[in-house]
Amino acid sequence: MRGTRVLVTGSTGLIGAPLLRSLRDRSFQAHGVSRIATTDPLTHRADLSVPEPTVRLLADVNPSVVVHLAGGRGGDPELLYESNVSTTKNVLEAAARLESPPAFITAGSAAEYGEPPSGVASESSPPHPVTDYGRAKLAASALARELSAESGIRLCVVRPFNIVSPRLPTSTALGNMREQLRAQTGRHRVVRCGRLDVVRDFVPLHFVVEVLSSLLDLEEWPRVLNVCSGTGLELGSVLRAMADCLDVDVHVTPIDELTNISAAQKIIGDATLLHKLGLRCEPTAASLARLLVADDAHERGPLPSSFV
């Protein structure tokens, strides 16, 4: 599908920015859309929570594929609904109005699963989100399936698990701990954080980009695809590995405000379907730590949480 015109929403975000670069490197005609202005002539500025500019954007670009990454993690339930559900509705409805509606990849989240009884979530696991964000993403995914079925649009809902990047915002646990470590000097450093005993499926950002890019080469898509490693790591093990990378000692100070946040104890993705597609990643606490504290990461700094 090289040469295909692709529209990436949320193209200045954590996933969108490197995906746009990857697609262009592979000779796709990749357009972006963001709420913020850029100097890129193929990145359009639009508020996708408003129907009219969304319709104009889709008509102007007329893409063959939409990769819908626009959304948000922060704010109250109403804001979460607007940034995740409303944008999905508007982009899909605008896509359906085109003479040749595009195929559609939309970003769900592992947060849709909540906490599976076994701790492992496959694509067929019933969703039971435990956070407002998970509930908003589940509503967006359900709406995407409904609207795509009505319009005949080819759809894949990808559900990334815990993304790891040196540009994670401080609103995430790893991003917060990383910034605290890098902001201090000396051998002994203090990290104020929530629970470290939770087990998560951590996925390097470059692998998420690889999966999204690879989908464009497939003739058939799964309806839902977990983007995961299939391996669970305790959050504290990644913090300890970051300390080892920096050659420092860490003292952890629990913060009630963070430890009391509702969160699953353990959630790991079932990577069986991903492996059948020839896609695999096998991160360790050490490899994730090296990624997080890369020498050039401090200069770039984290993305604002609104970009996620």
Q: Are 94 and 54 in contact (CB under 8 A)?
A: yes
Q: What are the extents of the domains in the chain?
A: 5-163+202-227, 164-200+231-307
- What does 256-287 look like in DSSP terms, one character per residue? HHHHTS---SEEEE--HHHHHTT------HHH
Query: CA 67, CA 88: separation in Å to the nearest integer?
Result: 11
> What are 131-182's pLDDT values in tens digits?
999 999 999 999 999 999 999 999 999 999 999 999 999 989 999 999 999 9
Closest CA to 65 of 104, 26, 94, 100: 104
| pTM of this structure | 0.92
Residue 3 confidence (pLDDT) above 70:
no
> What are 241-269's pLDDT values in tens digits?
999 999 999 999 999 988 887 778 999 99
Q: What is the pLDDT of residue 262?
A: 75
Q: Which two tokens stand for residue 145?
A: 């399936």
The DSSP 8-state label assigned to residue 223 in this structure reads S
CA distances, 13 to each of 3, 180, 198, 253 (Å): 23, 22, 26, 31
CA distances, 284 to each of 169, 201, 239, 287 (Å): 21, 10, 12, 5
Query: CA 179, CA 167: separation in Å to the nearest integer?
Result: 10
> What are 23-55's pLDDT values in tens digits?
999 999 999 999 998 999 999 999 999 999 999
Counting residues of the chain whose pLDDT is more than 70, the rounded percentage is: 94
Domain 5-163+202-227 class, CATH top level: alpha beta
Q: What is the mean pLDDT of the chain?
A: 92
- What does 32-71 look like in DSSP terms, one character per residue? EEESS--S-TTEEE--TTSHHHHHHHHHHH--SEEEE---
Amino acid code (one letter) for 115: E
CATH homologous superfamily of 164-200+231-307: UDP-galactose 4-epimerase, domain 1 (3.90.25.10)
> What are 213-235's pLDDT values in tens digits?
999 999 899 999 999 999 999 99
Q: What is the pLDDT of residue 276?
A: 97
Closest CA to 163 of 199, 122, 204, 210: 204
Where do the H-state alpha helices sit in 102-255?
132-151, 173-183, 205-215, 235-246
